[in-house]
Amino acid sequence: MKGTVCLVTGATGFIGSHLVRELASRGADVHAAARSGSAPGSLEPSSGRVTHHRLDLRDRAALERCITSVQPQKVFHLAAQTRDPASQSISDLAKSFADCIDPLVHLLDLLAGAASPPQVMVRAGTIAEYGKAMLPYREDQREYPQSPYGARMLAATQICEMLDARVPFPVHTARLALTYGDGQSHGFLLPALIDACRKGLPTEILRPDDRRDLIHVSDVVDALIRLGESGLAEGTTVNIATGTAPTMRDVAARVIAISGCDPALVTLGSPGPCVKPSVLLASPAKAQRQLGWSARIALDDGLRMMLGRAMQEDLHADVQVRARCG
């Protein structure tokens, strides 16, 4: 990656910020694209090796100016809305699809028509695209998405597969398992649970029997970079997952043990006999074959890393408060 010009969209997001820092640490010339309203703080440690671009990917003219000035050799497309309102109208659904698909098509079109097209484009998909397909999910299965997020991401994946032969570079899709790690929003279960446990606050696991394939963000970043370096002549869709899916009950027990939290503070919900537990579990066999990749960070180790980082941040905040108070 040293000296390689890389364009990363969604660069201030959870996964995007980790990818930007890793690319910069490997000596890449990184161009981080994000909307003007996104917080830049997550990229500050690598800001000296990163060029920031503030633009809305739906603005085709602004995107074209960015691509023309950057002339990226590798493109990592991570910009996507990952959370939806609890209830969506059909008009909301239509807008969420447009917000996902329109920037993708603009990006592919402008990159394909550039004076110097990139060598490769890697985009982040999700195992939620599979929905109620047979477990563990494999790339050769038909998908049955069960959420607006899974459906629009599947549509984006299929557009990339359809256009792969029409653009002068391979387009790879990494279908990511549920990614966790430092910097993740507390709107997600693991960071919220860890925060509650370390602060001694009560919390509830609403669906303790749901099972999730959980993968650390460092393993995801490694896989995305490997896809960018793979040299595969044709685009591929590949699962980036651990191949295991613990219950949320088990995950909660692990967090309690690692944090030393009082177990009585964590209660387990009872969804009822009519609510069937949901499972998201993908096979990483193709990634192992094509990329020589497999997840390296065990769940317990990843949870300890998150807890340690949170404690460091608490200590740093305490030092700042003491300094202000003299």
Domain 5-183+216-244+281-297: give its CATH code. Answer: 3.40.50.720
pLDDT of residue 313: 63
Separation of alpha carbons 248 and 281, rounded Å? 13
Confidence band for 85, pLDDT divided at 50, 70 and 90 = low
The 3 state secondary structure assigned to 36-95 is: CCCCCHHHHHHHHHEEEEECCCCCHHHHHHHHHHHCCCEEEECCCCCCCCCCCCHHHHHH
What are the boundaries of each domain within the chain? 5-183+216-244+281-297
Does position 318 have pLDDT exceeding 70, yes or no? Answer: no
pLDDT in tens, 92-151: 778 888 889 999 999 999 999 999 999 999 999 999 999 999 999 999 999 999 999 999
Among 182, 127, 126, residue whose Cα is nearest residue 301: 182
* Rg, C-alpha atoms of the chain: 20
- 8 A C-beta contact, residue 47 and residue 68: no
